[in-house]
Every structure is written in C-alpha cells, then in structure tokens.
Structure 1
Amino acid sequence: MVKTENIEKAYQVAKERYAQLGVDTDAAMEQLKKIKLSMHCWQGDDIHGFLNPEQELTGGIGVSGDYPGIAKTPEQLTADLDKALALIPGKHKVQLHTLYAVTKQKKDFNEVGPEDFEYWVDWAKKQGVGLDMNTTFFSHPNVKHNFTLASPEKEIRDYWIEVGKKSREIANYFGKELGQQAVNNFWIPDGFKDNPIDKQGPRERLIESLDEIFAKKYDEKNTIEAVEGKLFGTGIESYTVGSHLFYNNYAISRGKLWTIDAGHWHPTEDVSDKFSAFMPFGKGLMLHVSRPVRWDSDHVVIMDDALLRITRSLVRDNQLDRTNIGLDFFDATINRIAAWVIGARATQKALLQAMLAPIEQLKQAELNYDFTTRLAVTEELKSYPFGAVWDEFCLQNDVPVGTDWLNDIHQYEKDVLFKRN
C-alpha cells in the first residue's frame, strides 16, 4: 500500500518541475477528469453476448485463452464491470452490441429493440455511466458467404438493414434515458477471400443499405452514428467492401463520425496521422483504441509508442472535444477484469502525459523555425516525473495507486470468479 503522504510529497516536487516549463499540473488533471472513455463490454465474456451465446464467432473475430471466471449472465457481466470501473479514475461510458440484449423470450437480431436494453439502462443509471451502441453484423447464420449489408441477395440485405435500424432506436433510447449522447458504431465484415471481378457493385449496395438505415433522423443530442473501416479480415483477405477510404468518404458526405480502430490498419501505418487529415473536413472521430500485434489481434492496450502518438495528436491539435475514445480488445489468457483496468488506465496515462507539456510554447517555437527548442524540450519531457502526477490523479479520484488495484482483482477472483461454474 502506497502511503498517501509520499504520494503528495512526490506530487509537489513534480508540480514544481512542470511549473518551470509553464505547465499547470492541476489544470491537466482537471482536463483528464472530463474525458470519458467508452469501455467495451465484450472483454468480459469473450464476445458471446446473451442472444445466442453458443453461436460460433464469425466475421474474422476470434478470442484465445480460457482464463477462469468468464461472465455468462447479464448479472455477472455488470458485476465485473462494476469492479473494473471502481479501479479506473473518473466516470466513463460502456459500449454494447446488439448481442448483449437481455430479452424475456428468445429474439432474433432484427427483433431486438430498446425494451431489450432496459436492464443495461437501469444499471447505467445506478453506476452514473453512459452507454454507446455497436450494431452486431457477425455471429449469425445470415452472415452469408461473408456478406451482410453488401450482399447480392436482397433478403439478406433487408434483414441486416432492419438490424441497423433497430440499433439506432436503441442508441437513441440510451441518449434520452441517460442524458448523454450515445455513439452508434457500424462495422460490417463483408468481402472476398479471393480476387473478385466486381469491386464496385458491393460498394454501391453498401451505400444504398447504409442510406436506408440512416434515413430516419434522430436528435444528435441523443445519438450519432459512426462508420468503421478495415484493411482486411480473416476470410476477406483480398477485398474489403467497407475499406478505410470508402468510410472516410461516406462519413464526410453523410455527416457521420469516422471510426478509426488502431488495429485495422497496415502495421507500418501510424493511425494518429489520419486525425489531422480528416478533421478539417469531417464531423468528428470515434476511436477504437486497441493494440495490434502482427495486425488486428486486439491485444490489451498498453502505454506503448503507438498509444502515445494517438494521445499526443489528440491533445496537441485540440481534437478531444470532437473525438470519442473507445477501447476495443479481448484477451481470455489473463483476468478479464484486469484487462479492462490495464487498458483504460494506460489510455488515461498516455492522455495525461500528452497534456503535461508546454504545447503552446512548443508550437510558437515551431512557427519561429526554432526546431532546436522543440527537440530539446520534447526529449527532456520524457524523463519528467509524470508518474507522480498520475498517482495524485488516482488519489484524488479515490482509486488505488500503483499496483494496489491488483489486490482487489485477486480478492475478487477468490470470492467471485473462481467460484463460477
């Protein structure tokens, strides 16, 4: 257990060090406190959901590992989320999928509506968190030959169009009930394993399907849509209908958010470079912060160079107000609740470190062609005591400091997780 007086002493030293550079550490912590991460519920149950939990995962999605204690019921999943949220500073949001409807009788995806998410809304109100929505276009028999909204069969397209419309109703319900805008994200797994003859036809069908889904207008105070692309996926290695460029253009032309998943790009690409190129033209961003290892493997987010570049770009270019930061990873080889905590705290740490910099002074130096100062200061900042500021932030938000949170996880394992069948 870290002693409170030691944390506060270390913070005062750090505060003075940063003040010499013109950085207000208290202001940085206040800024960080306002940022709500959107945590993904599917880390807790390996993306099984409650509609058809025995259905095999499709759409290029796979979860490895069999760590004990997986959540199998809505009550277990929300209990695990309660534990994770109690160990992460601040108030946040939780992302759901169509799969996570809690129904009174068996329903198909296209039958699920707002009434089937009352359980989640009641829980969110008690927790004081917001909810975001993702439309499930996978793990269903109607994913036919890897196609949904871009399918050549009208019956298949019509089925998934209805799923998309229902998802928007649900997201609007979240926003109205919780008083927080719900982002409704759309990602589809459509594509070809081998080289297609017709590349334009599927994209024209996708445009038509999306336009029909989005035809009804909802108050953006309650909900807003985001569209997510991908480089390729398992089973669609040669052609992805919803590519990055496709959704970039769709988002700009239709006034939607563009979702950038850190794992959906080529490993040599820096996703943070995309932000400033899109923002002057687009409505805003939805991020799925993930960690690719040899592409889209969705490892637990850590404070690595890629994450630091993402947060620096958002902070330095003043893009936080137009960016929704969501997490998206799944790892069943480790404690699933710990995965949430590690990923969320790493993201918050990276944001804080980005905020603890004399950004305006550095921008002015750059404008004056003083690249020497720019390089010297940014290098020195790497060894500044940002960890002491993070510890103070945790202390102020009544969450464990350092690795103390791991004790809570281990106790929860003994008391709850390891007793699950």
Structure 2
Amino acid sequence: MANKEMIKKAYELAKEQYAALGVDTEAVLNKINEIKISLHCWQTDDVSGTENPDGQLSGGIQATGNYPGKARNITEIMADLEKVMSLLPGKQRVNVHALYGDFSGGAADRDAIEVKHFQGWIDWCKKQGIGMDFNGSFFSHPKADSGFTLSSKDEEVRKFWVEHLKRTREIAAEVGKQLKSPCVLNTWIPDGSKDTPVDRNGMRSQLTKSLDEGFAAEFPKEYMKDAVESKVFGIGAESMTVGSHDYYLGYAIKNNKMICLDNGHFHPTEVVGDKISSCLQFVDEVLLHVTRPVRWDSDHVVTLNEEVQTIASEIVRNDFISRVNVGLDFFDASINRIGAYVVGTRAAQKAFMIAMLEPTSTLVKYEENGQNFERLALLEELKTKPFGAVWDYYCLQEGVPVSEDYIAEIQAYEKEVLSKR
C-alpha cells in the first residue's frame, strides 16, 4: 500500500520544481477535473451487446481473446463500470451503444428502439451522478450484411437505417434532458467496398441523402449534440470507405456537426493531435475516440504514448477543453476487462495532467522569438520532471488507489466476482 506521508512529501518537492518553471500544481489539480472521459460500455463484454449477446460481430469489428469473466447482461455491465469508476480519479461519463438497451420487456429491432429501452441506463447515470453519451449501432445486424447501411442503394435497407438514426437522436435528446448534461450522439457506419468500386459518388450521394433525412429534426444543444465519425478502412471494406475523413469533415462543416476523430481511423503516419486545431477552425466542437492502433485500427488499450500525449497537449495548450469531448474506444478480450479500462483511462488522464504541467507561455515565447534551441531543451527537460508525484497526490486527494495499488483491487474483484460468471 502507498505511504501517504511519502506521497505528500514527494508532491511538495515536485510542487517546488514546477513552481520554478512558473507552473502552479495546485491549479493543475483543480483543472484536471474538467476532463471528463466517456467510458465505452462495450469494453465490458467485447461488443456483444444485450440485443443478441450470442450474435456474430460484423462491419469490420473484431474482438480477440476469451479472457474469463465478461459481463453477460446489463446488471453485470453496470456493476463492472461502477468498479472501474471507483478506481479512477475525477468524474467520468458513460458511452452506450444502441445494441445495449434493456430488451427484457420484448425485442425491438434497430428501427424501433425507444427511450424506454435505455431508461435503466439514464436512471443508473442519475444514481452515479454522471452524464451519458450514445451511439447508433449500424453493424452486427442482418440489414448490414451487404456492407452498406446509410449509403445503400437498396431503398428498404437505407430507410431502415435512416429510421435507426432518427431513433438514436430522439433517445440521445431525452438522455441529455433527463441528466441535464448534453448527450453526444455519435454516428459511425461500416459502409465500404472490399474491392475497387466504380460508383463512389453514388454511394456518397446516398449517404448525404440519408444523413440529411436523419438529422432533419432539431434538438436543443443543451440536450444533444451530433457527431459523425470517419474511418480509413475496415475488414471487408479495404478498398474504399464511404464515410472517409474528407467526406465527414466537409459534411460536419457544412451542417454544423461535430467531427469525431478516432486516432485508429487514419493512416499510420497521420497524427490526430495535429488535426484538432485544424478542425476547430471551422467546427464548434470535436469528439475524440482515444484508442491505441497497432499497425492498424486494432483498438488496443490506451497507453501513455507519444500520440496520446500529442492529443492532450494540443487540447490544453490551446484551451480547447470546453470544445473537445473525450471518449475512449478499445475492446481487449485477451486481458482482465476491468484492468483494461483502468489502465486505458488513467493513461489518458495522465496525458492531460502532463500537458497541464507544461509552462506553455514560456514555450510559446521561445517559439515566437525564434529561440528554437531553448524550446527544444525545455521540452526535453520536462520529460524527466516529477509528474508522477503530482499524479499520485491527485489520486490520494480523490480517494482512489495510488500508483499500482489498483492492481490488487482488480485481482480481488476478479476472484470475488468475475471468476464466478
């Protein structure tokens, strides 16, 4: 167990070091709680959902591994999320996919879902004192087997998915209204072609038509905010993705929607952190899906790596916190799922704290004066400053496990709960 006195002493020393650089660690400890990360419910059960838990994943989505103890129903999903939140500093949100409704009262197809199917989630969020975000589920469904949903040239299929989009927006608006916190409604579709298509324009025209129909109803922004999410390719859609970044960025700017930037949905050499300030020149807000791609969009558990740090730094340096909605998107079925949540979320939180501990004004001054050596030197020296001491003190203040202490907590939960499933 962590020694509280040692943590406090280490923090006081770190506080002095950062003060010498003009950084107020107390201000950072207050500001870090402005970052509310939306926890994706689909890590609890490998994207199985509650609609048809034994169904096969489709639409380029694949969860690998069969670690024991995955959640089997909404009750277990919520219990696992409660355990996760008890191990994280600050307040989070929850992000729910449409296939995670409560269908105990009877099945409802995607074009027939209603608020009542998610009222249990809303009530649970009220109890937890957190906000909720929502997503349409345009995959793992017979009407998505062709590889096309909102861009389908089959009018019956296209209309089905347009109705699903409409229903998700109605649900999201009610979520935000009841929780008194705007619900971010993210729309991602797997549409694309395995081999080279001829009529790319026709597919994208269909998608535009569908989005225009689905987004026709207006909802107050204090209740619901729309986001559209691109992807570079997917399994079964290797040659062309209808909803590319170029397409959705243009649609978002023209129609005043948020663009969702998933750092696994771009070419390996593209840096999502560099896209944030570009997008925010033209849209009011962006949504982030923070993940860890390994060679491709493989949705590994987030770690404190350079790409995640770049994303966090870009947001903090430009005071974009109020304009950026942060969510996670990974599903690792090969390790303890609670552990995956805690490691991934803490990594994202640490990246934001490191960014807040940076003497940005000094660095900008160096940059504007052409003092590039000084800028480089200070950035390098910051890498070895005692950030960990500030992080541990933050966790201590928040009453959650410090440092690696959460490992034992998760091991106990696995023994007492997960192993009995």
TM-score (norm 2): 0.99
Does 2:293 match 1:297?
Answer: no
The residue aligned with 1:117 is 118
Taking the aligned partners of 2:397 and 2:177, their CA distance within structure 1 comes to 31
1:264 matched to which residue of 2?
265
2:408 aligned with 1:396: no
Counterpart-to-counterpart distance in 1, 2:98 and 2:221: 20
**2:135 is aligned with what amino acid?**
N
Q: Secondary structure at the match of 1:292?
A: strand
One-letter code aligned to 1:394? C
Cα pair 1:138 1:189 within 8 Å, conserved: yes
The 5-angstrom pairing of residues 241-320 of structure 1 reads: 241-320=242-321
Distance 2:304 2:60 in 1: 26
Q: What is the aligned-residue RMSD (CA, Å)?
A: 0.7
> Which position in structure 2 is the counterpart of 1:214?
215
Q: Counterparts of 1:203 and 1:385 in 2: how far apart (Å)?
A: 50
1:175 matched to which residue of 2?
A: 176
Identify unmatched segments of 5+ residues in structure 2. Answer: none
- Shift of the alpha carbon at 1:407? 1.0
For residue 46 of structure 2, give the secondary structure of its aligned residue in structure 1: coil
Corresponding residue of 1:141 = 142
Check conservation: 1:37, 1:326, Cα contact below 8 A: yes
Cα distance, 1:338 vs structure 2: 0.7
- Looking at structure 2, the residues matched to 289 and 110 of structure 1 have their Cα atoms a distance apart, in angstroms, of 29
Post-superposition Cα deviations, 1:125-164, rounded to whole Å, max 9, x if no partner, equal 1111110001000000000410000001110010000100
Alignment correspondent of 1:196: 197
Indicate if the aligned counterparts of 1:89 and 1:399 stay in contact, CA closer than 8 A.
Answer: yes
C-alpha displacement of 1:375: 1.1
Distance 1:323 1:308 in 2: 15
Matched residue, 1:321: 322
Q: In structure 2, the residue corresponding to 1:260 is in which secondary structure? A: strand
User: Shift in Å at residue 322 of structure 1?
Assistant: 0.4
SS class of match (1:298): strand
The 5 A counterparts of 1:63-78 are 63-78=63-78
Long gaps (5+) in structure 1? none
Three-state SS of the structure 1 residue aligned to 2:70 is coil
Cα distance in 1, alignment partners of residues 161 and 200 from structure 2: 21
The correspondence of residues 25-44 of structure 1 with structure 2, limited to 5 A, is: 25-44=25-44
TM-superposed CA distance for 1:116, in Å, is: 0.7
1:4 maps to what in 2? 4
Matched, 1:94 2:127: no
**Structure 2: which amino acid aligns with 1:57?**
L
Instruction: Check whether the contact 2:181–2:222 (CA below 8 A) recurs between aligned residues.
Output: yes
Which letter does structure 1 place at the counterpart of 2:11? Y
Q: Distance in 1 between matches of 2:345 and 2:365?
A: 32
Give, as a single letter, the amino acid of the residue that structure 2 aligns with 1:26: E
The residue number in structure 1 matching 2:151 is 150
Query: Secondary structure at 2:403's aligned position in 1?
Result: coil
Aligned 8 A contact 1:252 1:283 in 2:
no
Partner of 2:364: 363
- One-letter amino acid of the counterpart of residue 377, structure 1: L
Give 3-state SS (helix, strand or coil) of 1:297's partner. Answer: strand
Q: CA deviation at 1:197?
A: 0.9
Code of the aligned partner of 1:399: V
Contact 2:58–2:145 (CA under 8 A) maintained in structure 1 = no
Report the Cα distance in structure 2 between the residues aligned to 1:389 and 1:374, rounded to whole angstroms: 23
Task: Tell me if structure 2 keeps the 8 A contact 1:183–1:223.
Answer: yes
Preserved CA contact (<8 Å) 2:34 2:321 = no
- TM-score normalised by length of structure 1: 0.99
Take 2:413 and 2:274, find their aligned partners in 1: how far apart are those partners? 40
Measured in 2, the distance between the counterparts of 1:159 and 1:249 equals 25
Count of residues in correspondence between the two structures: 420
Give the secondary structure class of the aligned counterpart of 2:144. Answer: coil
Structure 2 distance, partners of 1:320, 1:270, is: 19
Deviations 1:230-276 (A, max 9, x none): 00001011111000000000010000000000101111111111111
Question: Residues 226-245 of structure 1: matches in 2 within 5 Å?
Answer: 226-245=227-246
What's the counterpart of residue 23 of structure 1? Answer: 23
Structure 1 stretches of 4+ with a deviation exceeding 3 A read: none
Residue 372 (structure 1) shift: 2.0
